[in-house]
Amino acid sequence: MNQQDMYRVTIVRGGTSKGIYILKNVLPYEPEKRDPIILAIFGSPDIRQIDGLGGADVLTSKLAILGPPTRPDADVDYTFGQVRLDEPKVDYQGNCGNISAGVGPAAIHLGLVSKQEPVTKVRIHLTNFNCILRAEVPVRNGEVEVDGDYAIAGVPGTGARIDLDFCDTGGAKTGRLLPTGNVKDTIHVDGIGDVTMSLVDAGNPTAFVAATDLGLTGTETPLQITSNKDLLGKLERIREHAAVPFGFARTWQEAKDTSPFIPFLCIVGPAQTYRDFTTGNTVPAASMDIVCRQYFEHTIHKAIAGTEAVCAGTAARIPGTVVNLLMPAATQVAEIVRIGDPVGVFPVGIAVDLAGGKPVLRKATFGRTARLIMDGYVYVRKSTQAGSGGA
């Protein structure tokens, strides 16, 4: 008797993340049957993910479920899942811009989207937010282009540029670009005191806090923050409190269970010179407009999520936000917002207009690279799927 089942999966590096892409029809429809299979594929819960394909890092424990479009204005459906390392849970509340960059190439490779040369335009229905992401994927000789001269901070070498447009994500989760209607809110955080933050819903809902309000510069390395357990706990407490005005939890105590993935928390500061923590190379202040350090999933992002770059760029273009007030005067009207993250600079094209006195996101574009790494079958124990586990 065969003790394991086979599931076809594709592993794709999208931007500075890596994910497992799987066709919707390969998995059971019912979440209670589907998620145990997904957890087993990744090897969760286990911080090493030693018995699965996950990479023992929040940036490589990401899922993309792809299928035929369920909206007439889309070419493919895409559902994002963040697979937890420390508990048996797949969180479908948010999205990952880097994993989104791999959706177009994966959809073309899997036959969900017809190839067009030299560029295949893919309209992606992000089911998590019920909005449309747009990708332009270079194609040559019938294959997705891999080689190119486009470099992104945090990824070795260069590749073919994939252009993404996230303008439809403005207010996609909460219905408003500024969920509270305010450019800044002061929230009392239990055990900490009053914290001033800007709550913005674009890309992924995010609470922005000035680094100086936390006793930081904004140029700290991920390790410098994550090794400080008191600071890490403080960041999570602030994030949990921010979840309440966003509408993701009724109380901050509830946020840990009901909304552990979103909102993100972003620490922001003015442009400063610092070193790329992976290479030691200098990142000059003149190359950026602001610095950002993204907190999520109880850690600091080793670069910055594409969705977070969109949200930070959007906040930078809304007068009076915590982020906007840190922007150099000379860059207030520039088309590109340059965000300094732990490994370099992430440029994002942002345009925000006022409609009826309310900000509306009109443009949110950025470039990424992606590469198909593996296509094949993963084995999952029947006993695991039945809930009996095993070792």
User: CA-CA distance, 101 to 108, in Å (whole number)?
Assistant: 12
Question: Domain for residue 312, yes or no?
Answer: yes
Do residues 24 and 69 share a domain? yes
Structure token pair of residue 101: 């960059």
* CA angle at 255 for the pair 308 and 310, rounded to the nearest 5°: 10
**pLDDT value for 175:** 93
The pLDDT tens digits of the residues spanning 68-111 come to: 999 999 999 999 999 999 999 999 999 999 999 999 999 999 99
Structure token pair of residue 114: 């017809």
Percent of the chain with pLDDT strictly greater than 90? 91
Do residues 125 and 21 share a domain? yes
Which stretch, 206-210, 275-279, 380-384, has highest mean pLDDT?
Answer: 206-210
Q: Would you call the peptide bond into 45 cis, given omega within 30 degrees of 0 as the criterion?
A: yes
Q: Report the DSSP beta bridge partners of residue 70.
A: none
**pLDDT value for 235:** 97
The pLDDT tens digits of the residues spanning 308-364 come to: 999 999 999 999 999 999 999 877 667 899 999 999 999 999 999 987 788 999 999
Do residues 344 and 247 share a domain? yes
Q: Report the DSSP beta bridge partners of residue 90.
A: 83
Domain range for 125 is 4-161+371-385
Query: Would you call 212 exposed, middle or buried from its count of C-beta atoms within 10 A (0-12, 13-18, 19+)?
Result: middle
Do residues 210 and 355 share a domain? yes
Question: Domain for residue 390, yes or no?
Answer: no
Task: Check whether 178 has a pLDDT greater than 90.
Answer: yes
211 and 266 in contact (C-beta within 8 Å)?
no
Mean pLDDT of all residues in 189-214: 97
Domain containing residue 331: CATH number: 3.10.310.10
Q: How many CB atoms within 10 Å of residue 32?
A: 8
User: CA-CA distance, 293 to 220, in Å (whole number)?
Assistant: 8
Do residues 122 and 223 share a domain? no
Question: Domain for residue 221, yes or no?
Answer: yes
Do residues 269 and 340 share a domain? yes
**pLDDT value for 355:** 78
Give the CA-trace dihedral at 191, 193, 198, 204, to 10 degrees. Answer: 0
As a whole number, the mean pLDDT across the chain is 94
The pLDDT tens digits of the residues spanning 258-274 come to: 898 899 999 999 999 99
Do residues 157 and 201 share a domain? no
Do residues 122 and 244 share a domain? no
Question: Domain for residue 174, yes or no?
Answer: no
**pLDDT value for 390:** 43
Give just the sign of the alpha carbon dihedral 310, 312, 314, 316: negative
Mean pLDDT of all residues in 58-72: 96
Question: Domain for residue 173, yes or no?
Answer: no
Backbone angles phi, psi at 180, to 5 degrees: -95, -10
Mean pLDDT of all residues in 214-222: 96
Task: Check whether 27 has a pLDDT greater than 70.
Answer: yes
Q: 25-39, 74-88, 171-185, 318-332 — which is least confidently predicted? A: 318-332
The pLDDT tens digits of the residues spanning 366-388 come to: 999 999 999 999 999 998 776 54
**Region for residue 27 given its phi and psi (left: phi exceeds 0; alpha: psi -120 to 50; beta: otherwise):** beta
The pLDDT tens digits of the residues spanning 100-152 come to: 999 999 999 999 999 999 999 999 999 999 999 999 999 999 999 999 999 99
Question: Domain for residue 279, yes or no?
Answer: yes
The residue among 34, 164, 13 whose CA lies nearest residue 88 is 34
**Region for residue 281 given its phi and psi (left: phi exceeds 0; alpha: psi -120 to 50; beta: otherwise):** beta
Question: Domain for residue 176, yes or no?
Answer: no
Task: Check whether 59 has a pLDDT greater than 80.
Answer: yes
**pLDDT value for 117:** 96
DSSP assignment, residue 98? Answer: H
- The total number of structural domains in the chain stands at 2
**pLDDT value for 346:** 96
Mean pLDDT of all residues in 173-195: 96
User: CA-CA distance, 180 to 198, in Å (whole number)?
Assistant: 9
Do residues 209 and 340 share a domain? yes
Question: Domain for residue 172, yes or no?
Answer: no
Do residues 40 and 114 share a domain? yes
Do residues 208 and 351 share a domain? yes
Percent of the chain with pLDDT strictly greater than 70? 97
Do residues 70 and 129 share a domain? yes
Beta strands in 170-275 (DSSP E): 185-189, 193-202, 204-210, 264-270, 274-275
User: CA-CA distance, 250 to 253, in Å (whole number)?
Assistant: 8
